[in-house]
Chains A and B, each alone.
Chain A
Amino acid sequence: MSILKKNKTFSIPDFTQSPCIDKVGVEERVARFQTRSIKSTTKMQGLKMILNMIDLTTLEGKDTPGKVKQMCFKAQHLHDVHPGLPNVAAVCVYPSMVETAVKAVEGSGVNVASVSTAFPSGQAPLDIKIRDTKFAVSQGADEIDMVISRGKFLSGEYNYVFDEIATIKEACGKARLKVILETGELVTLDNVRRASDIAMYAGADFIKTSTGKIQPAATLQVTYTMLEAIRDFKLATGIQIGMKPAGGISNSKLALHNLVMVKEVLGGEWLTNEWFRFGASSLANDVLMQIMKAETGIYQSADYFSKD
C-alpha cells in the first residue's frame, strides 16, 4: 500500500517488522548523553530554548476558567523581573478550556493545544473521539494532543491504531496533531518504536511520550528511541516530524540532556519549538531559577517565582 502525504508518496511498512531495540544498548547510549558537559553560554542558550519549547500544561478534573486564565498569563509573563525571556510555546488544556485559553493568549504568539480523543485513557468510541477533536479545533485549538488506543495496540490491532490516527488527523484540519503513545503502558522499547512508526506513517505531526497520568513517563530511554524513529522516518520519507516528551521532566538538567539528545540524534533543525516541545508544568520555574542563578551567581528563593 502506498499513501500520499504532504505531497510525497511512500509505501507503508509492515509494522510487525519495526526495528527491534536493545534496551541495554539504549541505556548505555543515554548514559553517554548524560556525561555531556553543558557550560556557560551553551547552558544559557539551552535554558532559554527550553523555556521557549514548553507546553505549559494543566490537565486536571478540577480545572476551571480561573485557573486556566492564570496559567495563560504566566505563559506570557514567565518572569518579568528578567527582561528578554521568551514566552512558552503553548498552553495545553482540556477541550472545555480551549475557549478560555484562546482568549487569554490572543495576540501573544503562544499557541493553544488541546488534548482530545477521550484523554487520557482513549477508551471511547471513534465517533466520540472525532467529535471531541472537532470540538477542540472549532474552539480555536492550534494543536491537538490525541492518545492512541493502547488496548488495541497491545492486542496487536496495529491497523486499527493506524486508521484511528489517520481519521483524527483528518478531523484536525489545520491544527497540528501530536500523537501520545503513553509509553508507560506500552512498557517495552520495541513497542515504543513500533507505535512511533505507526503514528508517523498515519499522519502525526508530532509524536509524544505520555499523558503525564502514567508512570514512568518521558524517560530519556523512551525519548531517545522515539528520536531515532523520527530520524529514520526522515531518512525514509523526507518528512520532518516533531517530538514532545511529556511527564516527569521537572528540572533543567534533565531538560538539557533531552536537548543534547535532539542535537546529536536529529540535529539543529529540530532545536526550535516548531519541532520540539516539553510537556511540563513545573519545569519552567526550575529553568527560571537556573537562569537567575547563572546571572546573579546565587540561587534565589522559590518564593520569588510565581508558582502557576
Chain B
Amino acid sequence: MKKNKKITWDYSPAPESAAHINLKKKYVLYIDGKWVKPSSGKYFKTINPANNETLAEIAYANEKDVDKAIKAARKAYDTVWSKTTPSERAKYIYRIARLMQERAREFAVIETLDAGKVIRESRDIDIPLACNHFFYYAGWADKLEYAFPNRKVEPVGVAGQITPWNFPLLMAAWKIAPALATGNTVVLKPAETTPLTALKLAEIIHDAGLPPGVVNIVTGYGDTGAAIVEHDDVDKIAFTGSTRVGKIIQKTIAGTDKKATLELGGKSANIILEDAPLDQAVEGIVNGIFFNQGHVCCAGSRLFIQESVAEKVIDKLKHRLNSLIIGDPMDKNTDIGAVNSKMQLDSINKYIKIGLEEGATMYQPECTLPKNGYYCPPTLFTDVAQSSTIVQEEIFGPVLTIQTFRTVDEAIQKANNTPYGLAAGIWTDKGSRIFNLATKLNAGVIWANTYNKFDPTSPFGGFKESGFGREGGLHGLSAYVKLK
C-alpha cells in the first residue's frame, strides 16, 4: 500500500483593513448634544487586547458630569421628547438604524479592535443585530397601544443604562432602542474597556439630529456607573453585567421608586441527549461556549452528555477543537480571538488552575497563541462534578465543564442545581423531549437544537441570580413604560 501523505494547506493571512477607521486620540463626553470635557480633567486609556496597543484616551466622568448628563436628559424629557409624537420618535430611531447600517463595516472593525472579538462575529452578528434592534423598536414606537391593549402607556422618564464589555454596541442598542421608542431619555455608560463603539454611536445619534439631551453618553469606571444608579433624578436603571454588581445596584435602589432590569451572570446548561443529532450538537457546544471567547452571559458553560453517547461526543468535540483557528481577531478566518482584558484573562487562568487543583482533567488543542495581547485556548474539563468550583462559578471565558448523566430527570436536576437561571440548550431529535425539558428547566432562555441565537423579536433575560426583566421583543417594552 502507498504511504499516506498529509498535505499542509494553511490559510494565508486575510486581515480586515483598518485603514478606513478614523479614531480620535481623545474622546470626551456626549452630554446635551455636545461633546464636553470631563470636569475631572481625567482620561483613561482603552487598549486593543489583541496586541496591547492604546487605541484612544477616554474621558473619565465623575459625579458632576453624571449630574450634568442626567439634568440634560431630564430637560430633554420634559421639554422635547415627551412631547414628540410617537411616529416622529420612530423616524429618529429608523434614522439611527440606517446610519449604523451604512457604517456597519466601520463599527465592526472598531468593535473588534476595542474588544478583541473576531471580525467575523462583529461583522456578521454584533453589528447587524444592533441595527436590527433599532429597526425593530422603531416599528413599535407608534404602536404601543397595541402592545399593551386597553392600557394607557406612558414613558418612565430618564433611564440610566450601564452596559458590559462583551457585546459593547449590541448591548447599547438593546437598551437605547426600546427606551427611545417608548419616549424615555437616556444616560448610558459603556464599559471602561470597550467604550469606542458607544462613542461612535453618539456620533451617529448626533448626525441623526436627535434633540439634544435625549441620549447622553458618559464614559468611566464603576464609580461613574454608581453615580448614575445613586442619582435621585433617574427613574429607571438598566444594567447588564456581573451578579456581584447587580446585587450592589439592588441594595442601592432599595426603597426608591426606581424601576430596574438586571441582566446578570449565568452558568447555563447545554444538554445532549442520546438521540440528538450529534455532529450538529458538537457545533452547538462549540457555539455555546466558544462564541465571543466565552464572554457571553448565557454561554453554555456546563455541558451535560447522556452517558451512552458521552465518549463519542467528547471525541468529536476534541476533534472539532483542533480545527478552530485561534489568533488575530482582525483576520477573517479567526474563530477565537483575544480575551477582553488582562484582568479577565487572569480571572480565567485562576479558574483553570482551580480546575486542575481540584483534580479535573483538562484538554486544550495544540495551538500557538500570539505573543502580545491576551489569549486563552479553548479549554475542556472532564472529571468534574456538581461540587467542583469550575462547575459552580461563572468563568466568563472559553472554558467548558463536561458532566455525564443517565436519565432525563437527572439532567434536569443537575441543570437546575445552580444559583443562576439564564439559559439552557437541549439537543434531541424528539419534539416531546424538548417540550418536557423546556417546561422543567429553570432558565429564561431555552434553545432546542441550537445555541446562542439572538433576535430582536425574542425576549432575553434570566431567573434567580441571573437577574430579572426582559430585553428584546414585546417584553422589552415593558421595562420602559408606566401602564395606567
Contacts and interface: CB of A to CB of B under 8 A. Distances in A.
B8 A268 contact: yes
Nearest to B10: A42
B319 A231 contact: yes
Interface string B336-363: 0000000000000000000000000000
B12 A41 contact: yes
Interface in A18-51: 19-22, 24-26, 28-29, 35-43, 45-46, 49
Nearest to A270: B7
Interface stretch (B73-81, B145-153, B277-285, B378-386): B277-285
Interface in B1-43: 2, 4-14
Contacts of A24: 280, 449-450
B120 A35 contact: yes
A80 interface: no
A240 B1 CA distance: 13
B429 to A, nearest CB: 5
Range, interface on chain A? 35 or more
A215 B437 CA distance: 39
Interface in B267-291: 275-280, 283-284
A259 interface: yes
Contacts of A25: 277, 279-280, 283-284, 449-450
A19 B9 contact: no
B6 A269 contact: yes
Contacts of B12: 38-43
Nearest to A189: B277
A49 B2 contact: no
Nearest to B2: A274
A29 B9 contact: no
Interface in A32-87: 35-43, 45-46, 49
Contacts of B7: 49, 268-269, 271-272
B133 to A, nearest CB: 22
Contacts of B277: 19-22, 25
B232 interface: no
Given A25-B284, A41-B12, A271-B7, A20 B124 contact: no
A22 B280 contact: yes
B439 interface: no
Contacts of B429: 20, 22
Q: Could you say which of A22, A36, A42, A45 has the most chain B C-beta atoms within 10 Å of its C-beta?
A: A22
B279 A228 contact: yes
A19 B14 CA distance: 36
B315 A235 contact: yes
Contacts of B9: 42, 45-46, 49, 259, 263, 268, 271
Nearest to A28: B283
B60 to A, nearest CB: 39
B256 interface: no
A29 B450 CA distance: 12
Contacts of A42: 9-12
A109 interface: no
Contacts of A29: 280, 283
B333 A37 contact: yes
A238 interface: no
A264 interface: yes
A267 interface: yes
B387 interface: no
Q: Could you say which of B6, B279, B323 has the most chain A C-beta atoms within 10 Å of its C-beta?
A: B279
A45 to B, nearest CB: 6
A228 B312 CA distance: 13
Nearest to B7: A271
A264 B279 contact: no
Contact of A38 (B8, B11, B120, B449): B11
A175 to B, nearest CB: 16
B332 interface: yes
Q: Could you say which of B8, B11, B429, B449 has the most chain A C-beta atoms within 10 Å of its C-beta?
A: B11
A263 B5 CA distance: 14
Contact of B280 (A26, A35, A38, A43): A26
A19 B332 CA distance: 32
Contacts of A271: 6-7, 9
Contacts of B284: 25
B332 A35 contact: yes
A21 B278 CA distance: 8
B275 A20 contact: yes
B332 A37 contact: yes
Contacts of B333: 36-37
Given A36-B333, A41-B12, A19 B278 contact: yes
Contacts of A263: 9, 323
Given A21-B277, A25-B277, A37 B11 contact: yes
Contacts of A38: 11-12
Interface of B: 2, 4-14, 120, 124, 275-280, 283-284, 315, 319, 323, 332-333, 429, 449-450
Please name the 9 residue pairs, one residue from A and one from B, whose CB atoms are nearest each other, closest first.
A25-B280, A37-B14, A271-B7, A22-B277, A22-B280, A37-B332, A268-B6, A42-B12, A264-B323
28 contacts: A21-B279, A21-B280, A24-B280, A24-B449, A25-B284, A25-B450, A29-B280, A35-B332, A36-B332, A37-B332, A37-B333, A38-B12, A39-B12, A39-B14, A40-B12, A42-B9, A49-B9, A231-B319, A259-B9, A263-B9, A264-B323, A267-B6, A268-B6, A269-B4, A269-B7, A271-B7, A271-B9, A272-B5
Given A19-B277, A20-B429, 4 more contacts: A19-B279, A24-B280, A35-B332, A240-B4
